[in-house]
């Protein structure tokens, strides 16, 4: 059974040597199915709505001291998107400026092949989740 409560607080939050938070996320994906349930070669990715606006994004959040980077990515996907699956090799690291604090954060992203989508998850009442074909996703997402 999955935990149905999101972690909160920053007591265990990791920070880089410049004082920016270290965040981790996933790009959840699956192969699109036709009306008969047959899998195609077309990929879909899952995006979630932002809590603080209308933007769509991939699930991500703080990397905490008591977990590996992969565990944090898995946890964030479960908490924000209600999906579980197989975390794959890290896609890379990027830096971005926090809109709130104006300092650089450090991000790590992983693809996740989704094996299960839950009906109930920790942030179900806070976020919408939407499966979209890979092409249009690039114009929908914020960081």
Mind listing the pLDDT tens digit for each residue in 72-87? Answer: 999 999 999 999 999 9
- Residue 143 confidence (pLDDT) above 50: no
- Residue 142 confidence (pLDDT) above 60: no
What is the separation of C-alpha 66 from the centre of its chain, rounded to a whole number of angstroms? 19
Q: How confident is the model at residue 122 (pLDDT cuts 50, 70, 90)?
A: very high
Burial pattern 56-83, b for ≥16 Cβ within 10 A else e, equals bbbbbbbbbeebebbebbbbbbbbbbbb
Q: What mean pLDDT value characterizes the chain?
A: 88
Closest C-alpha to 55, from 117, 128, 131: 128
Question: Quick one: pLDDT at residue 1?
Answer: 47
CA 65, CA 94: separation in Å to the nearest integer? 20
- Residue 99 confidence (pLDDT) above 50: yes
**Which stretches of 1-143 are DSSP H helices?**
69-81, 134-140
* pTM: predicted TM-score of the whole model, two decimal places: 0.84
CATH class (in words) of the domain with range 22-140: alpha beta
The 10s digit of each residue's pLDDT in 1-52 is 455 666 666 789 999 888 899 999 999 999 988 778 788 888 999 999 998 7
Range of 11-20, 48-57, 99-108, 122-131 with top mean pLDDT: 122-131
Q: What percent of the chain has pLDDT over 90?
A: 61
CA 30, CA 41: separation in Å to the nearest integer? 10
**Which stretches of 18-103 are DSSP H helices?**
69-81
């Amino acid at each position: 059974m999955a935990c149905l409560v999101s972690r909160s607080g920053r007591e265990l939050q990791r920070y880089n040597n410049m004082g920016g938070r270290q965040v981790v996320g996933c790009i959840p994906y699956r192969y699109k199915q036709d009306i008969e349930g047959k899998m195609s070669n077309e990929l879909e990715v899952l995006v979630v709505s932002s809590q603080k606006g209308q933007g769509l994004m991939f699930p991500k959040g703080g990397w905490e001291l008591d977990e590996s980077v992969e565990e944090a990515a898995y946890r964030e996907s479960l908490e924000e998107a209600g999906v579980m699956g197989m975390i794959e090799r890290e896609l890379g690291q990027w830096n971005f400026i926090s809109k709130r604090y104006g300092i650089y954060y450090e991000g790590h992203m992983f693809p996740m092949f989704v094996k299960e989508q839950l009906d109930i998850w920790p942030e179900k009442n806070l976020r919408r989740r939407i499966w979209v074909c890979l092409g249009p996703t690039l114009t929908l997402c914020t960081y």
